[in-house]
Amino acid sequence: MIRNIILAITLILTITTCYGQNNDNVTWKYSAKNLNNGNVELLFNAKIADGYHLYSPFNPAGASMPLSIKLEESKDYSQVGEIQELQKAISHYEEVFDVTEKYFIKKADFKIVIKPSVTTPFEVKGKISGQVCNDESACSMVRNNFSINVTPQKPEDKPKSEVKSEKQEVKTEEPKANETTQTEVVKTTDTIVATQNEISVSTSDTLAVNPPATANKNYDSITNSSLWEIFFIAFLAGLAAIFTPCVFPMIPMTVTFFLKDKSGHGKVNALIYGLSIILLYTLPVAILILIAHLIGGENFTAGIFNALSTHWLPNIIFFVIFFVFALSFLGMFEITMPSSLINKAEKRGDKGGLIGVFFLAFVLVLVSFSCTGPIVGSVLVESASGNDFLKPIIAMLGFSLAFAMPFTLFAYFPEIMKKLPKSGSWLNTVKVILGFLELALGLKFLSVADQTYHWHLLDRETYLAIWIAIGIMLTMYLLGKLKLPNDSETSNIKVPRLILAILTLSFVVYLIPSMFGAPLKALAGYIPPITTQDFVLGKNVTTVTESKSTLCNTPKYSDKLHLPYGIEAYFDYNEALQCAKNQNKPLLLIFTGHGCVNCRKMEENVWSDEGVQNMMKNNFVICALYTDDRTMSEDGVKTIGEVNTELEIANYQMSAQPYYVIENPNQPGKAVKEPMKYNPDIENFKQFLDIKK
């Protein structure tokens, strides 16, 4: 797996494959077929050249780019359900991506059902995109535009025997053994994946099936909110970087250089200087993400992000980097960029002009690396811990904007520079404070690896004990009771430093009750879950009255996986599905992850509500599916995280966490109402759990 991650990252950095709009290795035929119920089947038949294979629409996250067939929106029709495969795809374990890929050879047939809203002929237009590869891993893009003529069948043309009265009742007799009245189910690697066949529901089913939407209606606003949040945090980090010994003294020097520019373009050059700083921080990150997106699309990019955020190797590397940078900030040693690189950049900057201004900005980035590197790394790695690949770009934009701002503003308003504090020992104090913060933040990466692999090295109380110790040491430092190598002698403590010491000590006091089981809702997602804590005062985490168990048997993996507040759950889809059938209860699927910050926020801020707990415990059979857990499944080939990720993509074309789905156990793979993504509103979650609405 280590070699695979390195290889995947190398592919991103060295990709040289060319992509074209059309691909001779796959040829397509399109047709339309009227159905008796008035709907129309759009058929897509692909002929694949010998030696090549076309990837399935349900290829898992982190693998090669899956096939996508998108119809243009039109008032003439509406799409019914998702794309359907008309034959079973070949499954093959791909060592590079460490996933089991799905693809077709020689031919592949798909269909999409639409519902016409007019009776006159119309045209369906759309685009096909995907990836085709040969056995030597030479790949190219599949991109086709298509147009299909459709002549809807008029209602009077339907055979009378096929037309049912609106008042006709559905028969309630049980189906025979050889009849298929429910979703066809294919069992692969101990995971039930429902295909997209049409469903005939008997009145004995306890739930009605509604077409699931792909996203919660409030999710877009929440996503935008999280992007603004990461921008704001990165912006503050950029401001903090300014007040470090490597950067702050360079502000008057750089601004004076532009003010003395005899060309008359000093202020313009200062603006270009600031923009160059923003580009130097933001553009490389954006280019890497764009390349990853071009290689394999959103799923491939999300897969890389998932590997970076949950696999033990990158998390341990990030932890070590944070620890080393923290030691540097605390004064143990100095990290500097090679002098030869800085000298070359300075020579380029001396040439003047726009290129010269750009290289002056490059010099600033290189020289300030020993102070800004740890901060940039913190922001970048934290923003990349998830599946939203816009976050690292937004983070770098926020950081670089704050970092570049003073160099431009002071060039336009030089009189403000007179109000700046003089350089002194306070700059080293800022650096040391950042060192303590690096020590605390670096633990998060070790914690993610610890939870994902169940090492139990850094459970909740151990994690919090280290944080409390760091907080106490920082308080002592701020009060002058602790001296570090680069500190100068101070005769008294200034008021701002005293206030910061009070705030730090207050945070330590806030943490102490957590050693006995306090929930710490404000830190949900940034500390290990309470289920990893051995000692909880009063033993039970929940205050809700005990409810009857909804479990039919002892769940698989329950020795390693648990839900908070005494909520009982299965951690295997097949097992939960069978229990839900036995109890005739709806099945609540919770796609979650150990490294998922928003999952912990939902647990701490929403699940903690007594009403929510009662609904979850009494109304459902619950199945928590961890998409990043590295425990091997029973087949010994895949981890349970890989199995659960494939199930989420195959059934719901989604790879988000948290993702909540309510299923009728008699119709696996179909949501009975719109699934729900992250939404910290308690009433909204209660409405979702209310299956009558």
pLDDT digit string (tens) for 189-200?
344 444 333 333
pLDDT of residue 638: 85
pLDDT exceeds 50 at position 504: yes
Mean pLDDT of 301-308: 63
Dist. CA 659–CA 598, nearest whole Å? 10
pLDDT of residue 126: 92
Q: pLDDT tier at 572 (50, 70, 90 boundaries)?
A: very high
Dist. CA 44–CA 31, nearest whole Å? 7
Tell me phi and psi for residue 220, to 5 degrees: -60, -45
- Higher pLDDT, residue 228 or 212: 228
pLDDT of residue 251: 77
Percent of the chain, pLDDT > 90?
Answer: 24
Which tokens belong to 40?
């129309």
Give the least confident one: 376-390, 441-455, 613-627: 376-390
pLDDT of residue 355: 74
pLDDT of residue 195: 38
Q: How far is CA 274 from the centre of its chain?
A: 31
Comparing C-alpha atoms, which of 46, 45, 61 is closest to residue 653?
61
Q: Please say whether the dihedral angle defined by the alpha carbons of residues 647, 648, 651 and 654, taken in this order, is positive or negative.
A: negative
Comparing C-alpha atoms, which of 586, 195, 229 is closest to residue 388?
229
Q: Give the Å distances, CA to CA, from 341 to 120, 337, 345, 359.
A: 69, 7, 6, 11
Q: pLDDT tier at 648 (50, 70, 90 boundaries)?
A: confident
pLDDT of residue 670: 84
pLDDT of residue 109: 94
Which tokens belong to 534?
């051995």
The segment with the largest mean pLDDT, out of 194-208, 229-243, 454-468, is 454-468
Q: pTM higher than 0.95, yes or no?
A: no
Rg over alpha carbons for the chain, rounded to the nearest Å, is 29
Q: pLDDT tier at 549 (50, 70, 90 boundaries)?
A: low
pLDDT exceeds 90 at position 541: no
pLDDT of residue 391: 79
CB 54 within 8 A of CB 108: yes
Dist. CA 340–CA 195, nearest whole Å? 60
pLDDT of residue 69: 92
CB 117 within 8 A of CB 77: yes
CB 300 within 8 A of CB 66: no
pLDDT of residue 237: 84
What are the DSSP calls for 449-506, one per residue? HHHHHT--SS-HHHHHHHHHHHHHHHHHHHTTSS--TTPPP-SS--HHHHHHHHHHHH
pLDDT exceeds 60 at position 493: yes
Dist. CA 431–CA 590, nearest whole Å? 42
pLDDT exceeds 90 at position 17: no
CB 309 within 8 A of CB 385: yes
pLDDT exceeds 70 at position 99: yes
Which tokens belong to 350?
């001396």
Give the least confident one: 128-132, 216-220, 233-237, 379-383: 216-220
CB 655 within 8 A of CB 603: no
Per residue, the 3-state secondary structure of 276-295, as one string, reads HHHHHHHHHHHHHHHHHHHH
Dist. CA 289–CA 690, nearest whole Å? 40
Q: Give the Å distances, CA to CA, from 533 to 255, 451, 516, 559.
A: 53, 12, 9, 14
pLDDT of residue 261: 62
Please report the beta strands in 635-680, taking only residues with DSSP state E, as ranges in sequence order: 659-663
Dist. CA 383–CA 391, nearest whole Å? 5
pLDDT exceeds 50 at position 677: yes
Give the least confident one: 330-339, 445-454, 458-467, 550-559: 330-339
